[in-house]
Amino acid sequence: MGGRATTWYPGVVWIHLLRHGIAIDRDDPQCPPDPLRALTDKGRERTEEVARAFAGLQPVVDAVAVSPYLRAQQTADIFIEALELKDVRRWDCEALLPMEDPDRAMEALRTRPGQGILVIGHAPNLDRLGSRLCGAAQPIFKLKKAGIAMLTADILAVGRGSLVALFPPRALRRLGRSRAQD
């Protein structure tokens, strides 16, 4: 689905910023260290719903950059399966950790070009990265867990991007349910 060679706009890079799904709460006495926090059952279920709905949009995705934290890795697995990205270029990207500099993340993404990059990470890094791509000094959106911001850019540089769509997870889940009923 999403991995096919569809070209929406030639010469444009699609950047799909995806915040990981719902993970074990930090206040839970059983919570492991932050890098090992996993998706909850509810988080996995909702992330799967969002992934199926997103796949229905047939996004251009030929590369996946993912934070090395467990919850982001699990989210990546769910989306790769839903998008049927069997041979996708996937790499762990330390620059996508929660408090990293968004310019470092942008530089890391530039080193692995693709026409469509699914970027899976955390708040506030993804909010800041998307805003920097759009040329804003402060965040212009705040992704919810399993939320997606879709941007385009002619090159991955500050101020060269445009926010195309912002998908709250609830909206994608509803879209997926309505498509399933058709």
pLDDT in tens, the chain (182 residues): 444 444 455 578 999 999 999 999 999 999 999 999 999 999 999 999 999 999 999 999 999 999 999 999 999 999 999 999 988 899 999 999 999 999 999 999 998 767 899 999 999 999 999 999 999 999 999 999 999 999 999 989 999 999 999 999 999 988 877 766 66
Rounded distance between C-alpha atoms, residue 120 and residue 109, angstroms: 12
Rounded distance between C-alpha atoms, residue 127 and residue 142, angstroms: 6
Residue 32, preceding peptide bond in cis (omega within 30° of 0) = no
Helix residue ranges per DSSP H, 57-111: 70-82, 102-110
In the Cβ-directed half-sphere of 41, how many Cα atoms lie within 13 Å?
Answer: 0
Question: What is the enclosing helix (H) or strand (E) of 124?
Answer: none
Q: What is the per-residue pLDDT for 106?
A: 94
Q: What is the per-residue pLDDT for 10?
A: 58
Put residue 84 in one of left, alpha, beta given phi > 0 → left and psi -120 to 50 → alpha: left
Integer Rg of the chain from CA: 15
Q: Is the Cβ–Cβ distance between 47 and 39 less than 8 Å? A: yes
> How many H-runs (helices) and E-runs (strands) does the chain carry?
5, 6
Rounded distance between C-alpha atoms, residue 121 and residue 147, angstroms: 11
Pairing of strands 13-19, 148-153: antiparallel
State how far the alpha carbon of 114 is from the alpha carbons of 6, 31, 109, in Å: 13, 36, 9
Superfamily for domain range 13-181: Phosphoglycerate mutase-like (3.40.50.1240)
- Give domain limits for the chain: 13-181
